[in-house]
A and B are shown apart, each in its own frame.
Chain A
Amino acid sequence: EVQLVESGGGLVQPGRSLRLSCAASGFTFDDYAMHWVRQAPGKGLEWVSGISWNSGSIGYADSVKGRFTISRDNAKSSLYLQMNSLRAEDTALYYCTKSTGFGVVNPPDYWGQGTLVTVSS
């Protein structure tokens, strides 16, 4: 059974940093691309970032480019999102998602339960 467990969310002041982690199990982690997707309270889904199976291809939404960094550790079956210079508009539930294939072109299939990030002074 595929399991994705996010951690690292919380309350943080504007301008500060936070690092999200996602522990994956139940599948061969290094065979699949991974994505982070967020959902602000009461709003729709927004793709944040994606990373290919071998970290060779990485993409970001314009709204986070230059501030967020996605990475993965295949040896640990873990996905990360380093979030710097956080803004109020980054407040959202952040989902870790497994892709249907090895590239960023492949969409999310399995989703974690999410970790809540609240940016407020």
Chain B
Amino acid sequence: QSALTQPRSVSGSPGQSVTISCTGTSSDVGAYNYVSWYQQHPGKAPKLMIYDVTKRPSGVPDRFSGSKSGNTASLTISGLQAEDEADYYCCSYAGSYSVVFGGGTKLTVL
């Protein structure tokens, strides 16, 4: 159960697009289409942004999208807005009724 690998930080200007990667193994990200992404603002509980690799919960803007290729999943945020500045975490089912999170990525909107 090793944590998924995410970049420590990413940044972008308002209106630009950014992509956050999440690298796992053939036992977690690569094996299942159960990758999810969470947004967490300081002092707040996480919020689900993407689940099952590409699905968006009701109320999440379509500026947020997810994808996966092999053992790496990605979250893309287009048309960056100031309120998107937050920590982002990926998460994957890892088999044998276990789940693993990534280490988190701090998104800075310049």
A110 to B47, CA, bound (A): 7
CB atoms of B46 and A45 under 8 A apart: yes
Cβ of A109: which chain B residues have Cβ within 8 Å of it? 48, 51, 57
Check if B99 is an interface residue, CB within 8 A of chain A.
yes
18 example contacts (A-B, Cβ-Cβ < 8 A) are as follows A37-B101, A44-B3, A44-B101, A45-B46, A45-B91, A45-B101, A47-B100, A50-B98, A59-B96, A59-B97, A59-B99, A104-B93, A104-B97, A104-B99, A105-B32, A107-B99, A108-B46, A109-B57
Most buried by B among A58, A60, A111, A112: A111
**Contact residues of B between 6 and 45, Cβ < 8 Å to A:** 32, 34, 36, 38, 40, 45
Cβ of A35: which chain B residues have Cβ within 8 Å of it? 99
Cβ of B38: which chain A residues have Cβ within 8 Å of it? 45, 108
Shortest Cβ distance from B50 into A: residue: A107
Cβ of A44: which chain B residues have Cβ within 8 Å of it? 3, 87, 89, 101-104
Cβ of A46: which chain B residues have Cβ within 8 Å of it? 101
Q: How many residues of B contact A (CB 8 A)?
A: 27
| Number of A-B residue pairs with CB-CB distance less than 8 Å in the complex they form | 70
A45 to B6, CA, bound (A): 13
Shortest Cβ distance from A47 into B: residue: B99
CB atoms of B97 and A61 under 8 A apart: no
CB atoms of B48 and A107 under 8 A apart: yes
Q: How many residues of A contact B (CB 8 A)?
A: 26
Smallest Cβ distance from A110 to chain B, in angstroms?
A: 8
Whether A111 contacts B45 in the complex (CB less than 8 A), given A59-B96, A104-B97, A105-B93, comes out as: yes
Check if A82 is an interface residue, CB within 8 A of chain B.
no
Cβ of A58: which chain B residues have Cβ within 8 Å of it? 97
Check if B1 is an interface residue, CB within 8 A of chain A.
yes
A112 to B47, CA, bound (A): 10
CB atoms of A61 and B45 under 8 A apart: no
Cβ of B34: which chain A residues have Cβ within 8 Å of it? 105-107
Which are the 10 A-B pairs with shortest beta-carbon distances?
A: A59-B97, A107-B36, A44-B104, A111-B45, A47-B99, A104-B97, A45-B101, A109-B48, A59-B98, A105-B93
Cβ of A62: which chain B residues have Cβ within 8 Å of it? 1
